[in-house]
């Protein structure tokens, strides 16, 4: 039997080591689907409920495997559905290839059914590489370049294959004029800065007395070197959201997350440092970096197009984080004075106490901070944690302490809702041997998570570690936005847009054959997490949480406090509860150490 273009594409994906393609069928990719049948489903076609979910699964897979994520969709509506997931890949710098169908070549330009101008649609999101295959000889080059570019630029790329081209007999490029052959080998490489640049960086870091280090996901391969730099420089280390799993929170000088969802010690370290060393992060909020002119700065980043932004750094080192640090470390002088680092360490210790106290504040019915705080010590040290966008991201960033082999991620830059459950599915395909935990709000669950529970039920048999826990903060509110409206605009809660219907997530899970637990009282929280984490399969555990507990930023500004007060005056329907919970949470920062929060604050 002759090999068709579609057969060739699947075979080439396998040659690249692709094991899973997250997708959804449609007649724009019928040729590919038929080829999958002939190939005995290799690489495995993983069926999502929606193409956006397939793209999120590919992103989750790539984030947790360190390998390429691949997704597939039909022309027209399928392609359009992919977009948000592909943008998530683009903004978080994740390698993903999208395979997309298109109408037959003979119908193109004929306003044909499901014909959408895919080059215009993907022009921005797949700006690094986007091509349509119109004759077999373009392969393997087009596919190879899509994959190579996705890896090299850490970006989404797209290959469009018209339906009739998928069914053509494959014929390889020849040695002729206008033919473009391609090869497969992908050897390791790393970028390193020049010696003189490294020397200049060392001079800046050696001159500082109060060094702060900020790490992002780009520092992931340089765990030990970052640690060594911090110890030599007597520095503290703050982590951008995507870099939370880069360094263990068990190190006493690690101040945890930074930014709006950050911790107070991170905020204070950035405020008070005289030198900033940023490694592998494009953390966007300059107001959480030192005041301009107050600190000297060095940045290390792999991407020469991205470096030097966000802060007026003095030295910008383009290079791989580990390779660059290996060159920098021998030039760093050990700082004998340790009072700055000690100050940071005691700030971290105090912050942990504040977080415990905030978690212990009573609420109606359950304090959302307590739910995350309670999970923290129960997490296995090899857990993969995903988090959705919403108030839960605050609790993820502040209450979970990364340690051991733990991994964690969320939609760091696009901050899209609805990625938590599909990321966790991607994680289970990336690491079927490890437990995964998704932290999700009820809005995100209603948007995407509920449907993707069906995908979980469909594929659970493939995962050798059966644990996949989906924790839901059921506050019947789009709470993060409710609070943003109050804090930014002084607007009262607008129930028509914010209130969510109550849904029994646990019963829905049970209907799919999973463990389902609904928790209505604080005293049941710990037992519920334990039960979910030891279930012999996927488990959904929902907590009825209090929407009046505010996700207070580490340093609520005066303007934000005033705006919130204004929203109360303007008649927020929840004002009594808000004031009660807001003050109770905030006051924990000022209470003497270890004093338990009292319920009658
Ligand atoms: C696709 C998308 N739509 C809207 C938003 C704006 N948004 C951010 S958080 C949020 C509320 C999330 O609600 P929920 O999932 O219930 O979590 P909660 O904040 O209540 O804990 C919204 C609407 C977004 N980030 N992404
Ligand atoms: Mg909610």
Kindly report, residue by residue over 24-39, the tens digit of the pLDDT.
999 999 999 999 999 9
Ligand 1: which atom is nearest the Cα of residue 480? 19
Other beta carbons less than 10 A from residue 47's beta carbon: 15
Give the H or E element holding residue 299: strand 296-301
Beta bridge partners of 196: none
Cβ of residue 448 lying under 6 Å from some atom of ligand 1: no
CB 477 within 8 A of CB 547: yes
Residue 176 resides in a domain: no
What is the domain range of residue 543? 361-590
CB 578 within 8 A of CB 554: no
What does the pLDDT average to over 466-488? 94
The distance of Cα 414 from the centroid of its chain, to the nearest Å, equals 9
Q: Looking at residue 596, what is its pLDDT? A: 39
Where is the domain boundary, 296, 320, 347?
Answer: 347
Burial level of 67, CB count in 10 A (0-12/13-18/19+)?
A: middle
Ligand 1 pocket check: which of 86, 442, 478, 542 to mutate, most ligand atoms within 8 Å of Cβ?
Answer: 478
Backbone phi, then psi, for 416, in 5-degree steps?
-85, 145
With cut-offs at 50, 70 and 90, classify the pLDDT of residue 468. Answer: very high
CB 168 within 8 A of CB 130: no
Residue 401 resides in a domain: yes
Q: Looking at residue 556, what is its pLDDT? A: 61
Ligand 1: which atom is nearest the Cα of residue 416? 26
SS3 breakdown of the chain: % helix, strand, coil, rounded to 5?
A: 45, 15, 40
What does the pLDDT average to over 446-470? 98
Q: Are residues 26 and 103 in the same domain?
A: yes
Where is the domain boundary, 289, 321, 347?
Answer: 347
How far is residue 118's CA from residue 83's CA, in Å, rounded to a whole number? Answer: 11
Q: Looking at residue 575, what is its pLDDT? A: 67
CB 246 within 8 A of CB 221: no
Give the H or E element holding residue 531: helix 525-533
Spacing, Cα 94 to ligand 1 middle (Å): 22
What does the pLDDT average to over 253-278? 97
Q: Looking at residue 600, what is its pLDDT? A: 32
Ligand 1: which atom is nearest the Cα of residue 442? 16
Handedness of CA 547, 553, 554, 559 (dihedral sign): negative
Spacing, Cα 444 to ligand 1 middle (Å): 7
Q: pLDDT exceeding 70 applies to what percent of the chain?
A: 93
Q: Are residues 325 and 374 in the same domain?
A: no
CB 96 within 8 A of CB 58: yes
Give the H or E element holding residue 343: helix 339-360
Ligand 1: which atom is nearest the Cα of residue 392? 21
How far is residue 97's CA from residue 539's CA, in Å, rounded to a whole number? Answer: 31
How far is residue 63's CA from residue 156's CA, in Å, rounded to a whole number? Answer: 13
Report in angstroms the alpha-carbon separations of 524 from 54, 83, 477, 529, 533.
35, 40, 22, 9, 14
What does the pLDDT average to over 281-294? 93
Nearest CA to ligand 1 atom 10: 390
Other beta carbons less than 10 A from residue 505's beta carbon: 24
How far is residue 83's CA from residue 94's CA, in Å, rounded to a whole number? Answer: 14
Q: What tokens appear for 177 in the block?
A: 């004029």
Residue 276, by phi and psi: left (phi above 0), alpha (psi -120 to 50) or beta? beta
- Tell me the pLDDT tens digit for each residue of 299-348: 999 999 999 999 999 999 999 999 999 999 999 999 999 999 999 999 99
Report in angstroms the alpha-carbon separations of 408 from 7, 367, 400, 585.
36, 23, 10, 26
Cβ of residue 442 lying under 6 Å from some atom of ligand 1: yes
Other beta carbons less than 10 A from residue 502's beta carbon: 11
Q: For residue 410, give the CATH number of its domain.
A: 3.40.50.970
Report in angstroms the alpha-carbon separations of 443 from 90, 359, 420, 475, 501.
24, 22, 11, 9, 9
Residue 313 resides in a domain: yes
Ligand number, closest to the Cα atom of 476: 2
Q: Are residues 456 and 334 in the same domain?
A: no
For the CA atoms of 285, 290, 294, 300, what is the dihedral angle to 10 degrees? -80
DSSP 8-state symbol, 349: H
Spacing, Cα 443 to ligand 1 middle (Å): 6
Cβ of residue 160 lying under 6 Å from some atom of ligand 1: no
Ligand number, closest to the Cα atom of 394: 1
Residue 190 resides in a domain: no
Q: For residue 272, give the CATH number of its domain.
A: 3.40.50.1220
Q: What tokens appear for 123 in the block?
A: 């022009």
Residue 354 resides in a domain: no
Q: Are residues 427 and 476 in the same domain?
A: yes
Residue 599 resides in a domain: no
Q: Are residues 440 and 568 in the same domain?
A: yes
Instruction: Please tell me the least confidently modeled range out of 414-428, 437-451, 552-566.
Output: 552-566
Q: Are residues 36 and 161 in the same domain?
A: yes
Q: Are residues 255 and 159 in the same domain?
A: no
Residue 177 resides in a domain: no
Q: Token pair 């995507």 is at which residue?
A: 242
Where is the domain boundary, 323, 347, 371?
Answer: 347
Spacing, Cα 572 to ligand 2 middle (Å): 17
Q: Are residues 222 and 271 in the same domain?
A: yes
Other beta carbons less than 10 A from residue 2's beta carbon: 8
Cβ of residue 479 lying under 6 Å from some atom of ligand 1: yes
- Tell me the pLDDT tens digit for each residue of 165-205: 999 999 999 999 999 999 998 888 999 999 999 999 999 99
Q: Are residues 332 and 375 in the same domain?
A: no
How far is residue 372's CA from residue 397's CA, in Å, rounded to a whole number? Answer: 10
Q: What tokens appear for 373 in the block?
A: 């705080």
Backbone phi, then psi, for 471, in 5-degree steps?
-95, 130
Cα–Cα nearest to 70, from 85, 50, 92: 85
**In terms of pLDDT, which residue wins out, 577 or 393?**
393
- Tell me the pLDDT tens digit for each residue of 558-601: 455 556 656 656 667 776 676 667 666 665 665 544 433 333 32
Cβ of residue 480 lying under 6 Å from some atom of ligand 1: yes
As a whole number, the mean pLDDT across the chain is 94
DSSP 8-state symbol, 447: I
Residue 332 resides in a domain: yes
How far is residue 289's CA from residue 291's CA, in Å, rounded to a whole number? Answer: 7
CB 534 within 8 A of CB 447: no
How far is residue 447's CA from residue 358's CA, in Å, rounded to a whole number? Answer: 29
Backbone phi, then psi, for 279, in 5-degree steps?
-125, 115
Ligand 1: which atom is nearest the Cα of residue 500? 16
Cβ of residue 427 lying under 6 Å from some atom of ligand 1: no
Q: Looking at residue 128, what is its pLDDT? A: 98
Cβ of residue 218 lying under 6 Å from some atom of ligand 1: no
How far is residue 441's CA from residue 480's CA, in Å, rounded to a whole number? Answer: 10
Q: Looking at residue 31, what is its pLDDT? A: 98
**Strands of 69-73's sheet in order across:** 44-47, 20-23, 69-73, 96-102, 156-162, 130-132
Spacing, Cα 473 to ligand 2 middle (Å): 6
Cβ of residue 481 lying under 6 Å from some atom of ligand 1: yes
Q: Is the backbone peptide bond immediately before 390 cis, with ω within 30 degrees of 0?
A: no
With cut-offs at 50, 70 and 90, classify the pLDDT of residue 493. Answer: confident
Cα–Cα nearest to 146, from 110, 215, 99, 101: 99
How far is residue 90's CA from residue 92's CA, in Å, rounded to a whole number? Answer: 6
Q: Are residues 205 and 268 in the same domain?
A: yes
- Give the up-direction half-sphere exposure of residue 377: CA atoms within 13 A in the CB hemisphere: 5
Q: Looking at residue 573, what is its pLDDT? A: 75
Q: Are residues 517 and 568 in the same domain?
A: yes
How far is residue 19's CA from residue 419's CA, in Å, rounded to a whole number? Answer: 21
Write the DSSP string, 179-203: ----------------HHHHHHHHH
| Helix, strand counts (H, E) of the chain | 23, 18
Cβ of residue 545 lying under 6 Å from some atom of ligand 1: no
Neighbours of ion ligand 2 (CB under 5 A): 441-443, 475, 477, 479
Cβ of residue 552 lying under 6 Å from some atom of ligand 1: no
Nearest CA to ligand 1 atom 11: 478
Beta bridge partners of 408: 385
Give the H or E element holding residue 457: helix 450-459
Q: Are residues 147 and 247 in the same domain?
A: no
Other beta carbons less than 10 A from residue 55's beta carbon: 34
Specify the number of domains making up the chain: 3
What does the pLDDT average to over 455-465? 98
């Amino acid at each position: 039997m002759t090999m068709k273009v579609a057969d060739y594409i699947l075979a080439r994906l396998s040659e690249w080591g692709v094991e899973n393609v997250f997708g959804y069928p449609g007649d724009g990719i019928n040729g590919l689907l038929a080829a999958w049948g002939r190939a005995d489903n290799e690489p495995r076609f993983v069926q999502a409920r929606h193409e956006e979910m397939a793209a999120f699964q590919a992103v989750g897979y790539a984030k947790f495997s360190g390998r390429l994520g691949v997704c597939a969709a039909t022309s027209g509506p399928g392609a359009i559905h992919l977009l948000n997931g592909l943008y998530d890949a683009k903004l978080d710098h994740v390698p993903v290839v999208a395979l997309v169908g298109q109408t037959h070549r003979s119908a193109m330009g004929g306003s044909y059914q499901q014909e959408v101008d895919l080059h215009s649609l993907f022009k921005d999101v797949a700006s690094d590489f986007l091509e349509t295959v119109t004759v077999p000889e373009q392969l393997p080059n087009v596919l190879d370049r899509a994959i190579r570019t996705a890896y090299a630029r850490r970006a989404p790329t797209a290959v469009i294959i018209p339906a009739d081209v998928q069914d053509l007999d494959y014929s390889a490029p020849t040695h002729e004029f206008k033919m473009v052959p391609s090869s497969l080998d992908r050897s390791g490489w790393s970028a390193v800065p020049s010696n003189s640049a490294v020397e200049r960086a060392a001079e800046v870091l050696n001159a500082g007395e109060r060094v702060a280090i900020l790490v992002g996901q780009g520092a992931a391969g340089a765990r030990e070197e970052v640690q060594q730099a911090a110890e030599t420089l007597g520095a503290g280390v703050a982590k951008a959201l995507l870099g939370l799993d880069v360094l263990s929170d068990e190190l006493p000088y690690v101040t945890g997350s930074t930014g709006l969802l950050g911790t107070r010690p991170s905020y204070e370290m950035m405020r008070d440092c005289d030198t900033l060393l940023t490694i592998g992060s494009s953390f966007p909020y300059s107001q959480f970096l030192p005041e301009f002119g107050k600190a000297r700065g060095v940045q290390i980043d792999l991407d020469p197009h991205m470096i030097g932004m966000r802060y007026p750094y003095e030295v910008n080192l383009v290079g791989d984080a580990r390779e660059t640090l290996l060159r920098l470390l021998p030039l760093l002088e050990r700082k004998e004075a340790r009072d700055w680092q000690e100050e940071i360490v005691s700030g971290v210790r105090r912050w942990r106490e504040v977080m415990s106290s905030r978690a212990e504040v009573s609420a109606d019915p359950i304090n959302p901070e307590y739910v995350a705080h309670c999970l923290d010590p129960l997490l296995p040290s090899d857990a993969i944690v995903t988090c959705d966008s919403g108030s839960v991201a605050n609790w993820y960033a502040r209450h979970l302490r990364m340690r051991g082999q733990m991994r964690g991620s969320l939609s760091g830059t696009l901050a899209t809702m609805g990625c938590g459950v599909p990321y966790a599915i991607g994680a289970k395909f990336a690491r079927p041997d490890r437990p995964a935990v998704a932290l999700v709000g009820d809005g995100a669950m209603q948007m995407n998570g509920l449907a993707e529970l069906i995908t979980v039920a469909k594929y659970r048999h493939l995962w050798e570690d059966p644990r996949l826990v989906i924790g839901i903060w059921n506050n019947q509110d789009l709470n993060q936005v409710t609070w943003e409206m109050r804090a930014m605009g002084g607007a009262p809660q607008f129930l028509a847009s914010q209130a969510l219907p109550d849904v029994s997530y646990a019963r829905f899970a049970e209907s799919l054959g999973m463990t389902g637990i609904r928790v209505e009282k604080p005293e049941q929280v710990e037992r519920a997490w334990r039960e979910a984490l030891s279930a012999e399969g996927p488990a959904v555990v929902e907590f009825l949480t209090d929407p009046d507990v505010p996700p207070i930023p580490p340093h609520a500004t005066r303007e934000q406090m005033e705006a919130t007060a204004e929203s109360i005056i303007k008649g927020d329907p929840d004002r009594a509860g808000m004031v009660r919970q807001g003050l109770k949470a905030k006051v924990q920062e000022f209470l003497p150490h270890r004093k338990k929060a009292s319920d009658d604050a």
